[in-house]
Amino acid sequence: MKEEVTDMSTEIAALWTYLRARVELAGGRNEQGTVVEKVILTAIFAALAIAVGAIIVAKVTAKANSINLN
């Protein structure tokens, strides 16, 4: 399980680095284009954060439900 979390965080870090580089390369364009791009990137990362949170909650809930209290 620990490897899965590490792999996912590595992929997210790589994606973040790539997207930041794209935003910096696009710096010569007009401001309107970069604002739209930043809003889209923010929405993508918000969706990723919600998905990761949902996965963590599901795994913790499943583990908690599997504990025998008797």
- Which tens digits make up the pLDDT trace of 1-54? 444 555 667 778 888 888 888 877 776 555 566 778 888 889 999 999 999 999
Copy the structure tokens of residue 27: 């710096």
What's the domain count of the chain?
Answer: 1
For residue 62, what pLDDT is reported? 94
For residue 55, what pLDDT is reported? 94
For residue 1, what pLDDT is reported? 45
**43-47 long-range Cβ contacts below 8 angstroms, 24+ apart:** 45/16
Gyration radius of the chain over CA positions: 18
- Domain extent, residue 41, equals 2-66
How many helices (H) and strands (E) the chain has is answered by 2, 0
User: Phi-psi category of 29—alpha, beta or left, where left has phi over 0 and alpha has psi -120 to 50?
Assistant: beta
Copy the structure tokens of residue 10: 């590595």
For residue 40, what pLDDT is reported? 87
